[in-house]
Amino acid sequence: MMELNSTIIVKDLVEKTRLDIFLATETDWTRSQIKQQIDSGKALVNGKIQKAGFLIKNGDEVTLSFSREELSAQPEDIPLDIIYENDDYAIINKPQGMVVHPAPGAYNHTLVNALLFHFEKLSSGSNNIRPGIVHRIDKDTSGLLVVAKNDAAHANLASQIAEHTCFRHYLALLEGNLREDTGTITTYISRSEKDRKMMQVSGSGKIAITHYKVIQRYKDYCLTEFVLETGRTHQIRVHAKYLGHPIVGDKTYGLKNQKFNLDGQLLHAYKLELTEPRTGKRVSYECEMPVYFKNILKKQENNKISD
């Protein structure tokens, strides 16, 4: 049985927000699961039972007593690209197309299934379907993840991400050319009310901060480095769209008519900087771009724009 017993003091809202939408951003539960729990009287606002559409505001106290049947992940012999490992953590280069952990619609063939097969010990994570998972990247995004092998390392690494001392660097090929060579995008991001699988820049939700730097300009594209300060769902993809230059190959936030036949967005987490939990040493790990990403860049060699 999966349980969530928690009290949340609402803060940082720009405007009043539906209870179910707020909880979808504050928890790992889906909106349908949240609505079911709310309808069962398992979410109280200031001590009173409320409906899913009840508008909450800053200062409200939300008390949860959620429960559901818990999933469990099983080991699967799936190849892993292990960049580095020690007794506390491993650095994994996740391929495009792999889901990080089991979820509705993807219970098998995930990174977690592979981790359970390859490693004897992993941190307990937040539940049985996320052992070792400190942070995530999207299914169709490739690149580096740090995986915790014990709970002490997990807590330390999670704290680094929360305190913005673990730096996650991405490379993306954007449609068109950004006006500025460098910049910082600061917005609020929330779930789209039109499509719950999508996120959007809005006047409410969670603060999202992304730094960017143009690496190479081409006639119709620009290769750009992004560094996350916060880690919201789909953050880079949403911010790229917000700038008016979505990521090439992004079937959710990108152009409807894609020029290249790609399986997903050209977004790669190529560098990860962190502090080793045990030694306190500052370390950095990198991995190469996937072949399909390199091939697209090769096709643009003759279209480079000189400085």
Query: Residue 196 maps to which CATH number?
Result: 3.30.2350.10
pLDDT of residue 24 exceeding 90, the answer is no
| Average model confidence (pLDDT) across the chain | 91
Overall number of domains in the chain: 3
3-class SS of residue 56: strand
Task: Let me know whether 218 and 301 are in one domain.
Answer: yes
Could you tell me the pLDDT band of residue 127, with boundaries at 50, 70 and 90? low
Range with lowest mean pLDDT among 179-193, 194-208, 248-262, 283-297:
194-208
User: Where does a domain end: 163, 189, 212?
Assistant: 163
Structure confidence at residue 72 (pLDDT): 72
Higher pLDDT among residues 167 and 127, named by residue:
167
Q: Where does the chain show beta strands of DSSP type E?
A: 2-9, 17-18, 43-45, 48-49, 55-56, 61-68, 82-85, 89-94, 142-148, 167-175, 182-191, 199-202, 206-218, 221-228, 267-275, 282-286, 304-305
Q: Which residue has the tokens 């709970």?
A: 151
Structure confidence at residue 88 (pLDDT): 97
Could you tell me the pLDDT band of residue 102, with boundaries at 50, 70 and 90? confident
- What CATH code is carried by the domain that includes residue 37? 3.10.290.10
Where does residue 206 fall: left (phi above 0), alpha (psi -120 to 50 degrees), or beta otherwise? beta
What span, in angstroms and rounded, lies between the C-alpha atoms of 29 and 42? 13
Structure confidence at residue 11 (pLDDT): 87
How many residues are recorded in the chain? 307
Give the model confidence (pLDDT) of 172-227 as tens digits. 999 999 999 999 999 999 988 788 789 999 988 889 999 999 999 999 999 999 99
What span, in angstroms and rounded, lies between the C-alpha atoms of 94 and 268? 10
How many other β-carbons are positioned within 10 Å of the β-carbon of residue 97?
12
**138 given a catalytic annotation:** yes
Range of the domain at 199: 169-268+294-305
Could you tell me the pLDDT band of residue 1, with boundaries at 50, 70 and 90? very low
Give the model confidence (pLDDT) of 51-79 as tens digits. 999 999 999 999 998 876 566 788 999 99
pTM higher than the cut 0.85: no
Structure confidence at residue 225 (pLDDT): 98
Contact predicate 227/209, CB 8 Å: no
Could you tell me the pLDDT band of residue 32, with boundaries at 50, 70 and 90? confident
> 288-298: buried (b, 16+ CB within 10 Å) or exposed (e) per residue?
ebeebbeebbe
Task: Let me know whether 54 and 12 are in one domain.
Answer: yes
Would residue 274 count as lying in a domain? Answer: no
Task: Let me know whether 187 and 300 are in one domain.
Answer: yes
Contact predicate 279/162, CB 8 Å: no
3-class SS of residue 15: coil
Structure confidence at residue 213 (pLDDT): 98
Structure confidence at residue 124 (pLDDT): 86
Range with lowest mean pLDDT among 26-30, 155-159, 284-288:
26-30
Q: Return all residues near 297 (Cβ < 8 A) that are at least 6 apart.
A: 173, 223, 289
What span, in angstroms and rounded, lies between the C-alpha atoms of 51 and 57? 15
Task: Let me know whether 129 and 76 are in one domain.
Answer: yes
Would residue 191 count as lying in a domain? Answer: yes
Would residue 280 count as lying in a domain? Answer: no
Q: What percentage of residues in the chain have a pLDDT greater than 90?
A: 73
Task: Let me know whether 193 and 245 are in one domain.
Answer: yes
Smallest CA-to-CA distance from 26 within 44, 2, 10, 41 is with: 10
Give the model confidence (pLDDT) of 221-245 as tens digits. 999 999 999 999 999 999 999 999 9
Mean pLDDT (whole number) for 130-156: 95
Q: Which of these is catalytic: 60, 138, 140, 250? A: 138
Task: Let me know whether 128 and 235 are in one domain.
Answer: no
Could you tell me the pLDDT band of residue 2, with boundaries at 50, 70 and 90? low
Contact predicate 196/241, CB 8 Å: no
Looking at residue 197, its amino acid is K
Task: Let me know whether 51 and 63 are in one domain.
Answer: yes
Q: Where does 109-219 show beta strands of DSSP type E?
A: 142-148, 167-175, 182-191, 199-202, 206-218
Structure confidence at residue 128 (pLDDT): 66
